[in-house]
Homo-oligomer: A and B are copies of this chain.
Amino acid sequence: MVSKAPDIFPEIEIPDEISGLRMTAQRREVYRLLQQERNHPTANEVFMRVKDRLPNISLATVYNCLEALVQHGIIRQVNFERESSRYCPNLSEHGHFHDAATGVIHDVDFKPGVNLADVLNLPPGAVIDDVEITLRGKLASA
């Protein structure tokens, strides 16, 4: 039983188990942070921010937690070029647009009814398990 801190944001409630993964204190805070700050932080950014609530957490544990969450399909790992991996709690199928000017990463949804096989010449017999779409560009200020 944890007493609720007087945060500006209401604290996100996280159950004791998600998709078969036990939510330890560390996993809970890592997941909570990703839910709150949906800016695709790196492992190190998660580490620095989550230390506010778990001062003794280690970077290795943050990596362990992120991997466990990814493995259980609770969050997604997002890679861009050779940069550090980033993490995303948005489970709907989506891509990522990186604004080269600001560095901000925007989620990009598919338009409804779009099928990959409609736009790509897939190899015959290909069964797609995973799709990664990454865009880089600028946001023209209107």
**Which A residues are within 8 Å of any B CB, using their own CB?**
77, 79, 81-82, 85, 95, 97, 100, 106, 108-111, 114, 116, 118-142
Residues of B within 8 A of A79 (CB): 79, 81-82
Q: Which of B77, B121, B123, B124 contacts A111 (CB 8 A)?
A: B121
The chain B residue with its CB closest to the CB of A77 is: B81
Question: Within the oligomer, what is the number of copies of this chain?
Answer: 2
Q: How far apart are the CA atoms of A77 and B97 in the complex, in Å?
A: 18
Q: How far is the CB of A51 from chain B (nearest CB, A)?
A: 24
Q: Are A136 and B128 in contact (CB under 8 A)?
A: yes
Given contacts A108-B120, A111-B118, A119-B114, A137 and B130 within 8 Å (CB-CB): yes
Q: Are B123 and A97 in contact (CB under 8 A)?
A: yes
Q: Are A125 and B108 in contact (CB under 8 A)?
A: no
Judged by DSSP, the binding face of A is strand
Q: How far apart are the CA atoms of A77 and B131 in the complex, in Å?
A: 18
Name the residue among A124, A132, A140 with the largest chain B CB count within 10 angstroms.
Answer: A132
Q: How far apart are the CA atoms of A15 and B114 in the complex, in Å?
A: 43
Q: Are A125 and B139 in contact (CB under 8 A)?
A: yes
Residues of B within 8 A of A110 (CB): 119-121
Q: How far apart are the CA atoms of A118 and B116 in the complex, in Å?
A: 12
Residues of B within 8 A of A85 (CB): 82
